[in-house]
Amino acid sequence: MTTSPPRRPTAADIELLAYAQQAELAARDLYRAALENGSAGDQPGSVAAIAAHHDAASQSISSMIGRNAPQERLETLFTTFKPSFSGATFATSAHQLENTLVATHQALLEALEGTEGAALVASVMIAEARHVVALAALAGLSPAADTDAYLTIPADIVALSPES
């Protein structure tokens, strides 16, 4: 007899989802910092929208895990990307951040047991994959000449993990 996976997040899922929330808050804060330092250039509306998407993702995760939501950013992610989230390196760094988040959420998706948490992470991952495309264009990459920047996660991108 086969059993169905749990619907609600398990205890292990809650830890993974809490980590995902922290990553989303770090991304939100990075985009907000880029807006504050003027790195959004002529695209402040686009950058503000991406920041808002990360904030919405963090709020959705928070509503799923309730009091277990840490409500604080993943400081290691923020400090790693903060220096390059300014000036001429912003769009390329943001593209790398979004690829990192896609890889991270893909790894989390494989580890989650509860179907509700998995569905939420999958929806966040789809939004972040769209951010990858938008930021590739913002970075000046060509959909024809730089196809991989639009369609694949680079080999040097490593998924973040709560264990690391």
Cα–Cα dist 159/109, whole Å: 12
Four-residue CA torsion sign, 21, 23, 117, 1: negative
Mean pLDDT, residues 16-26 taken together: 98
The whole-angstrom separation of Cα 36 and Cα 84 is: 14
pLDDT of residue 2: 80
What is the distance between the alpha carbons of residues 62 and 21, in angstroms, rounded to a whole number?
7
pLDDT band at 164 (very low <50, low <70, confident <90, very high): low
Question: Which range, of 99-103, 104-108, 160-164, averages the lowest pLDDT?
Answer: 160-164
pLDDT tens-digit readout, 3-15:
899 999 999 999 9
Q: How high is the mean pLDDT of the chain? A: 96
Taking only the tens place, the pLDDT of each residue in 27-86 is 999 999 999 999 998 999 999 999 999 999 999 999 999 999 999 999 999 999 999 999
Whether CATH 1.10.287 fits 11-151:
no
Give the Cα-Cα-Cα angle 148, 98, 19 (nearest 5 degrees).
Answer: 140
Q: What gap in Å lies between CA 45 and CA 33, rounded to an integer?
A: 14
